[in-house]
Structure 1
Amino acid sequence: MNMTKSLWPSGDNTEVLIQAARQGDPDAVNQLLDRHRGPIRRLVEVRLDRKVQRRVDVSDVVQEVLVEASGRLQKYLDDPVMAFHLWLRQIAWDHIIDTYRRHRVSAKRNMDREQPIAGGGRVDESSVDLAIQLCDPAMTPAAVATQREIATQVEAAIQKLDEGDREVILMRHYEHLSNLEIAEVLNLNPPAASMRYLRAVRRLKAVLEEDKENFGVDNDSQG
């Protein structure tokens, strides 16, 4: 699959800053957090529910993440339990969940069952990219002219998946994490993470086919 570039900056430059921060360089600490401000913002925009984003300032959520990361940074430097961007992602994800719970529109919505997909146009683009990958390769550009409709169908289908399938799809196609990164987040070995992703894609295709027979999803049972 043609994957979009990761949200996160180069690991090589990050490692240089981590080493400098470990030596007590305050400028390195500031640079380390500042260069991840944009990626954290994009993550919040991608994963925080649209309705919640109309009620909160994304910049405030990002700042909360960076403040917490700054306070916990020394502990991370002493014992880096995972890649730095995945550590930051976990802090950001905790804040996304907390923000959703504090500002959700209806008490009937359950954060543990309906994970947030998304904020702005970036998500729609990710939905369209995923839809095109799932469609019959023979489809012409004219056949995917209604891309916004396709994006809506994909997002609705993702929400119908169980939590495990949904999360691996979102991490792969909306956060653009690699299989190795997903394996680390989920505490799986890479082959197991890959199999979980492939199963999730198959189930997503099945939901799309059930929802809209004319969607054009390729199916092994079709000739």
Structure 2
Amino acid sequence: MTSQDESPPEPDRTAALVERAGRGDREAIEALLLQHLARLRAFVRLKMGPVVRGRESSEDLVQSVCREVLEGLDGFEYRGEAGFRQWLFRRAEHKVIDRGRFWRRDKRDAAREVPATPLGDEGETLRGLESLFTPSRDVAAHEELGRLERAFAELPPDYQEVILLARVLELGHEEIAERMGRSVSSTWSLLSRALARLASKLED
């Protein structure tokens, strides 16, 4: 007889959700995406930049990514929580890049365009970005998001990348180093400088 100590561990909840979602289980699909929605919104808002942000709603892009994810789960092989999160955010990154290319090709007069509306739930988006701030920050969500986006857009590309990888995707420094082609110690230093620069711009 199997003792209590020898009982099998509880199955990984996200893996079970992925399996059910691949079979078309609507509740599983919604639960799976909900786990990552706040950080997905944060990632898209920061990644899209002023060009795309001025022409499209970030909420529309997030919804588009979610639709594509739902359509592509059948071919997805689950390899752990971190792997699923990276796969999801790569889909979001490709979507933002595609839209950026579209708008750069487009020659329409920006002065005639209506600015994109902000996300409906800015508090949830800020929770996806909460690790960028100290707990003492206490400003309106809309103002904070606007300040963050403007400051983030002024950072060098490598600073933006390391902040997104470390603070939004929550990758370890080994993974960050591999993705950025740097040493682990270099990514630590780069992240420190990037956060210091971001904090300085926010204070300004």
Q: Shorter-chain TM-score: which interval? A: 0.5 to 0.7
Distance 1:35 1:190, change over 3 A: farther
The aligned amino acid for 1:203 is: R
Distance 1:202 1:196, change over 3 A: same
Corresponding residue of 1:83: 83
Query: Which residue, out of 60, 64, 74, partners 1:60?
Result: 64
Question: How far apart are the structure 2 equivalents of 1:28 and 1:147?
Answer: 33
The aligned amino acid for 2:172 is: N
Corresponding residue of 2:6: none
- Are 2:34 and 1:38 aligned? yes
Distance 1:199 1:14, change over 3 A: same
The aligned amino acid for 1:196 is: L
Could you list the structure 1 runs, at least 4 aligned residues long, displaced by more than 6 angstroms after superposition: none
Q: Please tell me the root mean square deviation across aligned C-alpha atoms, in Å.
A: 4.3
How far off is 1:127 after superposition?
6.0
CA offset digits 1:50-76 (Å, max 9, x no partner)? 5411794643331123323x3542xx4
Query: Which residue, out of 134, 141, 157, partners 1:132?
Result: 134
How far off is 1:83 after superposition?
1.7
Corresponding residue of 2:152: 158
Question: How far apart are the structure 2 equivalents of 1:54 and 1:89?
Answer: 14
Question: How far apart are the structure 1 equivalents of 2:146 and 2:183?
Answer: 32
Question: How far apart are the structure 1 equivalents of 2:128 and 2:57?
Answer: 18
- Are 2:163 and 1:169 aligned? yes
- List runs of 5+ in structure 2 lacking aligned partners: 1-10, 109-117
SS at match of 1:132: coil
**Contact between 1:179 and 1:190, CA under 8 Å: does it hold in 2?**
no
Distance 1:93 1:132, change over 3 A: same
User: How many residues end up aligned between the 2 structures?
Assistant: 170
